[in-house]
Structure 1
Amino acid sequence: MIEVNGLTRRFGRTLAVDDLSFTVSPGRITGFLGPNGAGKTTTMRLLLGLDRPTAGRATVNGVPYRELRRPLTQVGALLDATAVQGGRRADRHLWWLARSNGISRTRIGGLLELVGLGHVGGGRVGGFSLGMKQRLGLAAALLGDPEVLVLDEPTNGLDPEGIRWMRGLLKSLAAEGRAVLVSSHLMSEMAVTADHLIVVAQGRLRADAPISELVRPGMSLEDAFMDVISRSAR
């Protein structure tokens, strides 16, 4: 479970995250929505210990990420699929991550097959397309068989077939009891993927509810999202 309590982050005079509180429960996909600059990526960075909060706390199973022992076995994350050394082979990239967290190398081959990269595991990452890098990033997130997944725009760069594949995989991971937090700007995809939605704007929580409660009959998720954002601006 992910718990965010009173999370705040200032950058000088800019309040990027403003007293934000929510919970991401196991067994469902929680969509994390908001306009550009809403504080989504900053929140994820705070959750993953990549930045320090000005105030408040973000934990995984009650523990801040920085205090987790072998964190990849508890939290899998994909924030920037392009942040990989281009000259490294895909399988070696996963090998180094596994080694850093005491994870068996025997998982690597199966994960590359799972994400559709089994045939290019020996290829240099620099020659991969963005969609292939996203698949490799997801393999890295799953490397430690974690209970919690934090994914920022995981379908970016994927073709329609790849997006459909990603949707099915995320649903199967949630069905196994994992807590899955997914940030995305693709409203049509979130409408058929997410079970629960957290909407933020200007760093503050604007909605936290099952998708069935936010999207009324005859309304699209995009309509519901714009309604929440417009009401928050008033």
Structure 2
Amino acid sequence: MNTQSQAPAVEIRGLTKRFGGTTVVDDLAFRVEPGRVTGFLGPNGAGKSTTMRMILGLDTPTAGRALIGGRPYRALDKPLNVVGALLEAGAVHPGRRARDHLAWLAASNALPAARVGQLLERTGLSSVAGKRVGGFSLGMRQRLGIAAALLGDPPILLFDEPVNGLDPEGVLWIRTLMKSIAAEGRAVLVSSHLMSEMALTADHVIVIGRGRLIADTGMRQFIESAGPGASLEEAYMRMTAQAVDYSADAAAMRTETRGPGR
């Protein structure tokens, strides 16, 4: 596994993003530490996907910084060796075969070709490695996206709704994978709307609403804050009750359609 400096794996400092007159992320600050799974929660439109895109250099902040080991993503010499990400499972040409997709990523990033076969096996895609991605189910596309994220053996993983389209066996598989990755000392940031799954997977939780930080605490402490016998869902609903905004203007709706505003 690649090593990381003593700096936090991911550090968000005063991060702000505006699309026209709409503020999607508003002065956000938090850290994602190695050795644990951090759940990233919030209502639709809260700014989770936009934040992840800024971490990965896909969107430019209006203000603030997103740092990886103390450096912006765009300053990393070999980014796939540092950060692996699954933001959109459909971001693969449908005519490309699964094995060819991973082989192209490996070759273009000077990664060992042997990783392709290893990850096809690890993600359960060996039997369909020669098939075109256009014929894959959503769950199979999710697995391929996870394989691509792991290709560079990175110490940091970012997953946006990774269990979408997975059957119960697949959900258990991704849960086990994320926990095992964190146990190896890596940092995992995962966004999900499945509260029951997050309660079983995440060690720490970051909650945002309307682009602002609502909570940044251990999972157990977050649940206990809602009272005796509360579930994560109950704690989450209580915490975000005032953070759901259904009055977004057309600019916000456009960013939601393309993904980053979730």
Q: What's the TM-score bracket when you normalise by the shorter of the two chains?
A: over 0.9
Aligned to 1:75: 83
Aligned to 1:85: 93
1:231 Cα offset (Å) = 5.5
Provide the rounded CA distance (Å) in 1 between the counterparts of 2:98 and 2:78.
Answer: 21
Match 1:105 to one of 113, 116, 134: 113
Provide the rounded CA distance (Å) in 2 between the counterparts of 1:7 and 1:100.
Answer: 31
Aligned to 1:10: 18
Aligned partner of residue 180 in structure 1, secondary structure: strand
Aligned partner of residue 241 in structure 2, secondary structure: helix
Offset from partner CA, 1:158-178 (integer Å, 9 cap, x none):
001100111001100000000
1:180 Cα offset (Å) = 0.1
Matched, 1:173 2:181: yes
Q: Please list every run of at least 4 consecutive aligned residues from structure 1 whose deviation after the TM superposition is greater than 4 angstroms.
A: none
AA aligned to 2:238 is D
Aligned to 1:121: 129
Aligned to 1:51: 59
Aligned to 1:228: 239
1:96 Cα offset (Å) = 1.0
Provide the rounded CA distance (Å) in 2 between the counterparts of 1:232 and 1:165.
Answer: 32
- The TM-score with structure 1 as length reference comes to 0.98
99-108 vs 193-202, greater mean Cα deviation: 99-108
Does the aligned pair in 1 maintain the 2:43–2:243 contact within 8 Å?
A: no
Offset from partner CA, 1:187-225 (integer Å, 9 cap, x none):
000010000000000000000000110112300001000
Structure 2 regions of 5+ residues with no counterpart? 1-8, 245-262
1:101 Cα offset (Å) = 1.3
- The TM-score with structure 2 as length reference comes to 0.88
Output aligned runs, 1:128-207, within 5 Å.
128-207=136-215
Aligned partner of residue 84 in structure 1, secondary structure: coil
Aligned to 2:247: none
1:82 Cα offset (Å) = 0.6
Offset from partner CA, 1:124-144 (integer Å, 9 cap, x none):
111110000000000000000
How many residues are matched? 233
Aligned partner of residue 3 in structure 1, secondary structure: strand
Name the Cα RMSD after superposition: 0.9
1:90 Cα offset (Å) = 0.5
1:232 Cα offset (Å) = 5.4
Provide the rounded CA distance (Å) in 2 between the counterparts of 1:152 and 1:116.
Answer: 20
Does the aligned pair in 2 maintain the 1:16–1:203 contact within 8 Å?
A: yes
Does the aligned pair in 2 maintain the 1:70–1:102 contact within 8 Å?
A: no
